[in-house]
Amino acid sequence: MAGAIAAYQEKTGTCLSYTNFSLGEKFKFKMKSKRAMLGVYSPAALISLTFVAFSLDLLSLTTMKRVLEELGATSLASILSCSSCSTSSSDNRSLILATALSLHFCKRILEVLFLEPYSGSMDASHGIALSTMYVTMVTNLLYAQMQAKGLKSPQADLMWPGVLVFLVGIVGNLYHHAMLARIRTENKKDFPHGGLFEYLVCPQYVFEELVFLGFFMIAQTVMALVTLVSVFMYLTARTYNTKMWYTKKNAHFPPQRKLLIPKLF
């Protein structure tokens, strides 16, 4: 449902104000975009890192529960309070999923700090909404993974192929974010060139979808599938909105650039 709502907002142009093609509304409470985006990603990163630290016996159960509750991940803290549901270093799937989530959100924090040239402002309520969405997503993914412990293993174990897909996605996403950052620093009015930008409108989103496909393959839970579909709907709609924005702002934008698959769609 959240993915469908976000996709509809992007498609109709009523997207959140951190995007470069938002409606330019007057914000009730402005925050610097860089500070706001740090607030968006940090709680989800802390939840994932806390889970990893506990899985590796670096945090006690009591400390881990307190941190998760303070970050809003009460359901995850609740299930881990049951000794029979506690994770351990031998629970490879939960640990690898939490590690992948940690890498994804820590990468985004590092990009905000050192790569992306944020200069504008965003509505604080939009930042809170995004942060809540990511906290809920991470909590639900890890909660579902813990609930799946003890169930019959999937016939086709996709965990290690999922790690490979995740790594391809996160590296490709970082590479194209770096290209975007350079272009925005040099000339904000230009549209991107180089890499897969020659064939796709937003290759960074395509690689982010690969990241979430990797999450699903590692987890192999219904919750991970729902998360993948939601992110796919949202990013596809956002890519379409971006193409319309580029076309409107620059008459020379190549119309042959596709949304998802080069030369096809």
User: Would you say residue 165 lies in a domain?
Assistant: yes
- Asked, for residue 264, whether it belongs to a domain, the answer is no
132 pLDDT exceeds 70?
yes
Residue at 90: amino acid letter:
S
The pLDDT tens digits of the residues spanning 168-205 come to: 999 999 999 999 888 877 766 677 888 898 899 899 99
pLDDT score at 83: 42
260, pLDDT greater than 70: yes
Task: Supply φ then ψ for residue 122, to 5 degrees.
Answer: -145, 160
Q: Give, rounded to a whole angstrom, the gap between the first and last alpha carbons of the chain.
A: 24
263 in a domain, yes or no?
no
Residue 185 located in a structural domain: yes
Is 219 inside any structural domain?
Answer: yes
Which tens digits make up the pLDDT trace of 41-55? 999 999 999 989 888
- pLDDT per position as a tens digit, 76-117: 777 666 544 555 434 689 999 999 999 999 999 999 999 987
Range 157-177 average pLDDT: 97
Task: Inform me whether the pLDDT recorded for 75 exceeds 70.
Answer: no
pTM for the structure as a whole: 0.86
pLDDT at 27: 53
Domain of residue 105 covers 2-249
Query: Mean per-residue pLDDT for 129-147?
Result: 91
The number of domains in the chain is: 1
Task: Kindly state whether residue 265 falls inside one of the protein's structural domains.
Answer: no
